Chain A
Amino acid sequence: MPPLRFGYARFASCSGCQLALLNSEDALPQLARRLEPVFFGLINSATDPGGALDLVLVEGSISRPEDLTELLALRRRARVLVAVGACALTGGINALGRTDRFTLCRKVYGEGAEARPTFPPQPLERFVPVDLGLPGCPPETAELVALFGALERGGLPLLPDYPVCMECRQRENLCLLIERRQPCLGPITLAGCEARCPSFGVICEGCRGLVPEANRAEAFRLLLDAGLGEREIRSRMGRFIGEGA
């Protein structure tokens, strides 16, 4: 089987998703045999020769006209385009502070603001069809490795559609929300992380985004019970889903 021709593109983000991929140290030699990195700027200096690609991973949100142009070009080349991480899926942290972008840029760059066109950071799906979204800030390394395995077999990985609480119960953790009255976002957050944070006794911050049919009203009430003010609840609940105040 010929190696998968893939590219890794990054827009507004922290590089954490590609670093999560590189953190698969023991799988890298095997991945290296099955992948042909056509462009992957963080680790590879080869010049992109163009042409069709089996897979494009895209990290980050779109916030500039030139980013959008690049995204559209990537979509045309890619058989499968995967949005990796919260920034690509919802805008993530970038979407916080929804002040008027132009005003903010004016403050930053003064009269030169017009020369730096930018718009509020957007998820990829606003502009192109996305074949799969890997949630998380960042996604788990094992999920990224599993993605390549599934693609090689001609499919896409099946991701959990249930909340973090399911995995947390499987690990027999104490419930931080009910038993400790801490503002844990487990009930409304997509699983797939093996309840990583609650397993250390640390509340879920919701980095994998909303589970389908999340009962947000009830979550809001539980967080009020846990002692947070309304403003902070809105801020925490919206942090990774593009709704942050």
Chain B
Amino acid sequence: MKVLTLEPLTRVEGHGRVDLILQHGELHDVRVSLNEPLRLFEGLLLGRSFAEVPALVCRICSICTAVHRVASARALEQALGVTVPPAAEVVRELLVLGGHLASHALHLFCLVLPDLAGTPDILTLARDGHPLAVAGLELKRLGNRIQEVAGGRIIHPINVEVGGILYRPSPQATAELAGSLARWQETLPGLLDSFLDPGSYPSAAPAVGTRLAVAGDGKLVLGGDFLSLSDGRRIPVSDYRELLGERVVSHSQAKQSGSRQQVWLTGALARHELAGRDSVRLPPGIYGNNGAQARELSLTLARCSSLLEELGRFPGDAPLLVPVKPDGGMGTAAMEAPRGLLIHHYVLDEFGRVAIADIVTPTAVNQVAMELQLLEDLRGVIDEEELRRRAAWIIRAFDPCISCAVHIIKGPGDPVCSGRILKGRSSAD
């Protein structure tokens, strides 16, 4: 037996490692480890006021910061029985979509493009004035600008609190954005071809896993009360724990969802398929995730434009924030992060302090799918250099976000290594 180790994984967010276990020269098994330092977020929220939560949890991850902030606010609003004013919902959606735009642009143009262009990094491409890289950086900047206008800051936005938003973006800023969005809708399609072209990628097995996304009506959906599965089921978000069965595994710092028998796939590809957008041809296998992200870039631009129009129709004194009184309660919010399903769940005590916090991130959900996809795609490959190269491509196609995945974990007396599925965890201690 021989083990090929890829460590550190590069051009992905966070510290990860892949062990390819070979037997008689052939790939026999795979282990994906997410080995970030512990963050213990769910633990450090305990006992804090609900009002502090959004500003803390957005710091789980900088790429997904907007969606963490909004998802936590939504879960807490549900727990406290608060309804957010409609104008605030519009600004929040704009913020989250700005995050999707920046994240997809970062992934495709900064992390994947070097593979297609055969260079080590985006810096080389930017230096040499590679047209796609230059345009991609501009697109990423647009996503950042949307987040800055809607959220006040690109990384760790400040505008979202429990109860709504704190201020309305200035008319000058939204008018400038609307202009940029209109220009981009004309130029964007020309930038996406190489990510959609099956010829850009190695050969691939079909993508593994039951697709999982927030249920919607075929449009670009960011949040909702039901989860949609490719086996035809529709599950209320509040049943997420029974569905996902997260467990502690010995080789990873992240909780794992599912098992080799029940594999989940979440992310742009799952959203694409579950929304019935199959008509567009995507690259094969898991590389379809890159293609689906490219498709979402177009949808996101269009949606941002209509949100800006919608925002303009609210009167200048439209309410943005409702007062929130500390109280007890329980709330669960599911949202689509750029990388897939994100769940925030909180229980508050009678003083509005966090008694239980549970956060499920897309990369933790996809962990098993990454392992199986490597096994499926690399079956029969014997050249070690090719194994390494293609394994890196496959992992990258999932667009993992390892900081998010290891926000971490609790689970009363959970046996480690036994693989027992945790059900009905009801206490933080």
Chain A residues positioned under 8 Å from B416 (CB to CB): 109-112
> What B residues does A60 contact at CB under 8 A?
37
Given that A19-B63, A22-B106, A108-B408 are known contacts, is A236 also in contact with B52, CB under 8 Å in the complex? yes
Contact of A13 among B51, B110, B111, B403 (CB under 8 A): B403
| Number of chain B residues close to chain A: CB under 8 A | 72
Q: Which 9 pairs between the two chains have the least Cβ-Cβ distance?
A: A97-B44, A16-B62, A112-B416, A32-B127, A12-B37, A32-B123, A44-B121, A45-B10, A25-B137
Residues of B within 8 A of A13 (CB): 403
Q: Say yes or no for A212: interface residue by CB 8 A criterion.
A: no
- Minimum CB distance partner of A138 in chain B: B155
A105 and B38: CB pair below 8 A?
A: yes
- As a 0/1 sequence over residues 75 to 100 of chain B, the CB contacts with chain A under 8 angstroms (1 = contact) are 00000000000000000000000000
- Report whether A29 and B129 are in contact in the complex, using a CB–CB cutoff of 8 Å: yes
- With known contacts A15-B13, A16-B156, A93–B56 Cβ distance under 8 A: yes
Cβ-neighbour of A45 out of B13, B114, B153 (below 8 A):
B114
B116 at the interface (CB under 8 A from A): no
Q: Which of B138-146, B285-293, B340-348 contacts A (4 or more CB under 8 A)?
A: B138-146
A232 touches B52 (CB 8 A): yes
The answer to whether B167 and A200 touch across the interface, beta carbons within 8 angstroms, is: yes
Kindly state whether residue B154 has any CB partner on chain A within 8 Å: yes
- Cα–Cα distance between A55 and B58 once the two chains are bound (Å): 29
- Max count, chain B CB within 10 A of own CB: residue among A109, A118, A201, A232: A109
- What chain A residues lie within 8 Å of B253 (beta carbons)? 116
B412 at the interface (CB under 8 A from A): yes
Convert A101-115 into 0s and 1s, putting 1 for each residue whose CB lies closer than 8 angstroms to a CB of B. Answer: 000110111111001
Q: Does A94 lie at the interface of the complex (its beta carbon under 8 Å from any beta carbon of B)?
A: yes
Residue ranges of A at the interface with B (Cβ–Cβ < 8 Å): 10-17, 19-20, 22-23, 25-26, 28-29, 31-33, 35, 37, 40-46, 60-61, 63-64, 67, 92-94, 96-97, 99, 104-105, 107-112, 115-116, 118, 121, 137-138, 141, 196-197, 200-202, 205, 207, 232, 235-236, 239
Which residues does chain B contribute within 8 Å of A207, judged by CB atoms?
156
A200 neighbours in B (Cβ, 8 Å): 152, 158-159, 166-167
Chain A nearest Cβ from B120, distance in angstroms: 5
Given the known A-B contacts A14-B59, A15-B62, A108-B411, are A28 and B417 also in contact in the complex, defined by CB atoms under 8 Å?
no
Q: Is B48 part of the binding interface, using a Cβ–Cβ cutoff of 8 Å?
A: yes
Other contacts beyond A141-B154, A197-B153, A201-B167: 4, CB < 8 A: A16-B59, A107-B412, A200-B152, A235-B52
Q: Is the CB of A20 within 8 A of B56?
A: no
User: CB within 8 A of B167: which of A26, A32, A141, A202?
Assistant: A202
Binding site for A on B (CB under 8 A): 8-15, 36-40, 43-46, 48-49, 51-52, 55-56, 59-63, 65, 106, 110-111, 114, 120-124, 126-127, 129, 134, 137-138, 140-141, 144, 152-156, 158-159, 166-167, 248, 250, 253, 392, 403, 408-417, 429
Question: Given A235-B48, A236-B52: A16 and B65 within 8 A (CB)?
Answer: yes
Most B CB contacts (10 A, CB to CB) among A17, A108, A141, A239 go to A108
Could you give 22 example pairs across A and B, Cβ below 8 Å? Answer: A10-B15, A14-B65, A15-B14, A15-B63, A16-B59, A16-B155, A16-B156, A19-B62, A19-B155, A20-B62, A23-B140, A23-B141, A23-B144, A25-B140, A25-B141, A28-B137, A63-B37, A93-B59, A104-B43, A112-B250, A200-B166, A239-B56
A202 close to B158 (CB less than 8 A): yes
Cα A113 to Cα B392 in complex, Å, equals 30
Let me know if B153 and A43 touch, CB within 8 A: no
Known pairs A28-B137, A43-B123, A202-B159; A138 contacts B62 (CB<8 A): yes
State the Cβ distance, A233 to closest chain B Cβ, in Å.
11
